[in-house]
Structure 1
């Protein structure tokens, strides 16, 4: 593990607030997966894939994907049951990883620069470990790798709900009790350390995303079942077996950037450094005063770290070619 390198600020595009990138519904294995494309602004841009966290969507990557469009030809997908994708049959980290692998294979764009936030980080670690042929570099933002002290997460208060036989119905009922504006505010307060960094346009988009959830009958079940699957994955990580996410992390060979926020309220702040220590070729960036979604809260800082990673790995590749 080493410290992440930040490229100069001048290498980034000027400040802008792009609208959500255009999306399309793609039927894959009989199920609709929704994907947003961030067009590259350079002819030699390389393919990238962005994977959101629990309760999120492809819109969580709008700003970062735009900032990186000079180097990366981006796609962001909605995982099954979230955003505008149809529900899936299973809501586990392995099932989501299979969907990401299938998308990369279907799109024919691999290997990709793979990005994951929170749950998407756990999914991306599994993909990078089991299918190294599909991953050029790996960027993890507050990855939800296993930790056992659930007091360090505001979602810990939901754990008793998971034990109820009708947890999905309870969650669906709870959704109906909150106005979209209030729920969006609560979500942002949980995910973002400094709400002044979130512009009005992003707030309005978050409210619209909440309205979409209200209209999707499957959403509450998808959320509860995914949280249940994530907790199960956490517990299995500390038991014998090849499927432990920590064991898989130690097998990742892709050059990796790990970004963590020291004000993260959803994932134990010790997880990001632990992830960087586990992955052999890793770089760590810990951000003061930043929460769970650094790519939303401080996208320019994250973009500078990503460009630092790409610059470093590109130079290593050139040296290798010259040596050969």
Structure 2
């Protein structure tokens, strides 16, 4: 039963509150190791995924953001593991999923890959989760493949936000590294950063309170940076994924993500942190308002990755949605 509720913040017009479930969940264990990873071929695609064991009659699928990977869902997947099995994917070009030759890295391509992969695994409808770029990908997937999505949870989805880009990157030198002529000099400087320096940059950008990240999680992040530095295609793929997101933001209004949102029929929970530096929380009310079955949860003292910063609260909100949908009251 969902006996708790959390009120919405800064929403006009006002919407109903988001139910917070009191259903049993495992105790949050911040020392938990990442869920085991494996490469799986399904639907014509080979992706690296991390599986969370759980009841097989329900499946949660998790899609990470730009520069992220399946590691971003360790704690939230654990919180939901008594209610659904979990599958966190590495998008092509991210984590350990090698992109196929000629891959476009557009949001549409990502959405099609995840949909075909989920369908190829014989899953669906699933509880779909997306953070940042993964949120935009999940919106496209839900709009195009409604039969695959039972519920949708969007955590700071990367809707168009055209504020100056350099201030919203882990290192302001990244845009210059993509430019001709001066690019090589900036790429050499970026390459000289240690994996731990990169991890600290990322945490400062994405978290409202970087000090809340335990040392072993910092070590995991640094280890992932070190591992990706040894993958030949990783750097170029990240650059192409970044350009793919920018192209989606700069597309004509008739093709904008804002035109996609009203086409999503799945019950949708939108979660946003008030301290999000990457995609402003000011986009949250419009996002939720355009969703035919959307509700908004705004979390104080939270940044861009609420599923990592507030996994217990996000899990209770997601479970509250699942329960309310099952009772046909969403």
Same fold (TM over 0.5): yes
Residue 183 (structure 1) aligned with residue 198 (structure 2): yes
5 Å-filtered alignment, 1:1-324, equals: 1-8=15-22, 11-17=24-30, 18-28=32-42, 32-40=46-54, 42=55, 45-88=57-100, 89-150=103-164, 154-155=168-169, 157=172, 160-161=175-176, 164-165=179-180, 172-236=187-251, 239-241=252-254, 243-316=255-328
TM-score, normalised to structure 1, is 0.89
Evaluate the alpha carbon distance shift between residue 314 and residue 267 of structure 1 in structure 2; reply closer, same or farther with a 3 A threshold. same
Superposition deviation, residue 16 in structure 1:
1.4
- Say which SS state the counterpart of residue 250 (structure 2) adopts: helix
Deviation of 1:150 (Å): 3.0
Residue 311 of structure 1: how far off its partner (Å): 1.1
Count of matched residue pairs: 312
> Could you say what the CA RMSD is over the residues aligned between the two structures, in angstroms?
2.4
| TM-score normalised by structure 2 residue count | 0.88
Label 1:29 to 1:172 Cα distance change in 2 as closer, same or farther (>3 A): farther
Of 16-25 and 74-83, more deviation after overlay is shown by: 16-25
Distance 1:94 1:316, change over 3 A: same
- Per the TM alignment, residue 71 of structure 1 is displaced from its structure 2 partner at its CA by 1.1
In 1, the alpha carbon distance for the partners of 2:227 and 2:295 equals: 37
Shift of 1:141: 0.5
CA contact (8 A) 2:166 2:175 kept: no
Q: Which has the higher helix share?
A: 1
Q: Note if contact 1:115-1:124 (Cα within 8 Å) is conserved in structure 2.
A: yes
SS of the equivalent of 2:197 reads helix
Contact 1:23 1:35 in 2 (8 A): yes
1:113-150 deviations in Å (ceiling 9; x for gaps): 10000000000000001110110000000100112223
2:142, 2:266 within 8 Å by CA — same for their partners in 1? Answer: yes
**Alignment gaps of 5+ in structure 2:** 1-14
Give me the whole-angstrom Cα distance separating, in 1, the residues matched to 2:189 and 2:88. Answer: 29
Give the Cα separation in 1 of the matches to 2:129 and 2:93.
Answer: 19
Specify the alignment match of 1:322 in structure 2.
none
Contact between 2:43 and 2:120, CA under 8 Å: does it hold in 1?
Answer: no
